[in-house]
Structure 1
Amino acid sequence: MNLQQIVDDTWNTLADQRGCGTLATYIPALAEVDPNKFAIALATPDGAVHCAGDADEPFSIQSISKVFVLAQALERQGPALWDAVGREPSGDPFNSIVQLEREKGIPRNPFINSGAIVTTDRFIDDRGPEDAVTDLLQRLRRMARDDAVTIDERVARSESDAGARNRSLAFFIADFGRLLNPVEEVLSVYFRQCAFAMSCRQLAETSLFLASDGTDPVSGQVMCDPIRARRINALMLLCGHYDNSGQFAFEVGFPGKSGVGGGILASIPGKAAIAVWSPGLNRSGTSMLGAMALGRIARQTGWSVFSGESMRH
């Protein structure tokens, strides 16, 4: 199978649709991104990375960061994490507060904002917020094999300035006694993790552990144990695109996690990690063109996790 040709064909076929969707204007820094950007990177366990378009241009990974924080929170907390956050699809928008009141401050899953705030709190654990951010940044640099991975401080400030809803969620959770650390310390980490700037190439390489039972097959760096990697993939499939998760699974068939910066991370266990980026979003906050690209790659490779070939890995 010629993966570079598949990546090139996908980019070329969809390039005329660049600019479709709507930018995430509620975060001022994201509203200024060029809507015509479009990138694909596909990384395989043998160390090859197949790229097209703007694959080496950093962008704000936003909620894709929740995958990495979840992996590390599970390593620190173990199964106790699931006492604080659920594992079910929400069916509501990513920043909804409705279920929190009904379910006594326990978020439905780790990928909606309320659940990610709790997961970030458990990732911080008994450390200070600065130590937690440094730990995550260093780990992502090692997994990406690139020290250029950084935090876009301007985006982080923009996140904080526009963060009234996330503060409301955090204080609501804290009111039920569900946070271990002060709200503003948790949010200081949360806003910065969402402001990580990574290219599709870096993101695909960093995410190979998801396709390889928790360990980067190139460097041998362990991100999490095999069972947890499989469970993260399951959660990505069920909850990775908020109230659009079912449609994404139906059309693409990859575990995936979207971010309102226009990126999508996809994992195909035993096969590859794929990162796509196009800033225009659908109504649920998933990159419109990025989802089209992943759907096309799924059809051309036959790599859906529901296919017999993929399920044998």
Structure 2
Amino acid sequence: MTISKKVINAQVMESNSHVFRCPICSSGMVMVDKSQLVCLDNHSFDLSKNGYINLAPQAHVTKYDKTLFEARKTVMSSGFFNPVLEYITAIASEHLEGREQAFILDAGCGEGTHLSAILSQLPGDTIGAGIDLAKEGITAASKEYPGSIWSVADLANCPFQANQFDVILNILSPANYAEFTRLLKSDGLFIKAVPESGYLKELRAIFYEEGERKDDSDPVVRFKEHFDSVTTKRLTYLFPLAPALLAPLIRMTPLTWGASNEKIEEALGTAIENITIDFTIIMGVKRVD
């Protein structure tokens, strides 16, 4: 008998219900009938038909829709991000070595491609949780990658108990340092991937005017305010861009948001043979006062 993806996801949540915290009252939660998460104060949240749980009490509208996540999955499945994911996986694997069980959180997981790829290479019994405010992304993740915890959730009010996660990932997504510090175990590792100046520069040349103001803030400085043993690694490479990948790449990147149809058509007509990937990976361990 084939077990549905919803049941698979429900079983993971039920087995690990101790990690959940009610986003309304902050009390503990349990899974009831493999269909609801219910807290001690009786706030209840239904498991969706696809096997994710919506733990964002307030409705949120984002620019990240179904077509964007479909485009992102197409691009990521091509190997576009592989060197970055391989490096992150190696760092996480080293940190988790020797642990019988571990929990890893992808904060801002989108459609789950990155977390799923990393989990597939980690040793032992590693349980993954992915959260994002974009319901379309979490819907796609729960359908495509059953066996992890997928939740619509707000990074400012993460629906998990303190000191639960061995590793937190934050890839191309805003960070909430106070929440991540709360969620990490005493020796927990935080890994953040931030784009550098060369990232997608071939598209930036089309969509951004020369001399446009750039963000000069240094994420490493902010990182060091909250974490110890901070190290960085810059990864820069050219990715051969097959013609069929140009349209989904343009669709998935916020670079094109607000661009005119003429600009998008111009980009689609450009023969970009290689695209630049340029990231800094920042790593640090939880600061224990």
Normalised by the size of structure 1, how large is the TM-score?
Answer: 0.25
Q: Which has the higher strand share?
A: 2
Q: Which has the higher helix share?
A: 1
